[in-house]
Amino acid sequence: MATITQSTETKPTTEMNTDKYLVFQIGNETYGVPLLQVQEIRTYTPATRVPNAPDYVLGVINLRGNIIAVIDARTRFGLPPLPEDESTVVVVAQVGGKTFGLRLDSVSDVMDIPLDQVQPTPPIASEATQRFLSGVVQVGERVVILLNLREIFDIDALSSIAA
């Protein structure tokens, strides 16, 4: 115990409690996902539609020989989808042992997020979308909404795709 206390004292707190986040813009807001969960960022290639899948599942794509699903972030958040352009990207992430893609309008940055300043999400969003959020944090001028990728992908809900 003593050694642990000592080590925390010697380190500056800012370094201790930051994590790198990939941040991006959806609509007017800035969102962030833990960089550790992000495998790669790809330009968007048209996905193959999966019949009977929920509307936020754009379809499946080929990721170096593996089939992964692509989820449209805007549709998932109940926003009207934007037509794709050069800045449209797919963020390939891993949650729960499965790889999936999240289509975004663009990615802007990688930021150090001070974890101890993350606050619980105020109940701004509807309950349905609330679960996609894991917190809010103010970094300088910007407010970053942190996303819960596991809830966004939600493999259990997808498993009940009807025939």
Question: Residues in the site for another protein, rule: CB under 8 A?
Answer: 45-53, 59-62, 65-69, 98-100, 155, 158-159, 161-163
Our CB check for another protein shows the closer of 47 and 152 to be 47
In the bound complex, what is the minimum distance in angstroms from residue 53's beta carbon to another protein? 7
Our CB check for another protein shows the closer of 71 and 113 to be 71
In the bound complex, what is the minimum distance in angstroms from residue 103's beta carbon to another protein? 15
In the bound complex, what is the minimum distance in angstroms from residue 135's beta carbon to another protein? 27
- Nearest partner of 132 among 29, 18, 39, judged by Cα: 29
Our CB check for another protein shows the closer of 47 and 137 to be 47
Half-sphere exposure of 160 (CA within 13 A, CB side): 3
Phi, psi of 17 (to 5 degrees): -110, 30
In the bound complex, what is the minimum distance in angstroms from residue 163's beta carbon to another protein? 4
Q: Which residues pair with 61 in a beta bridge?
A: 68
In the bound complex, what is the minimum distance in angstroms from residue 85's beta carbon to another protein? 20
Q: Are 148 and 136 in contact (CB under 8 A)?
A: no
Q: Are 92 and 68 in contact (CB under 8 A)?
A: yes
Our CB check for another protein shows the closer of 139 and 158 to be 158
Q: How far is CA 55 from CA 52, 76, 81, 87, 118, in A?
A: 9, 8, 11, 22, 31
Our CB check for another protein shows the closer of 105 and 154 to be 154
Q: How far is CA 79 from CA 28, 72, 75, 91, 113, in A?
A: 11, 10, 5, 18, 26
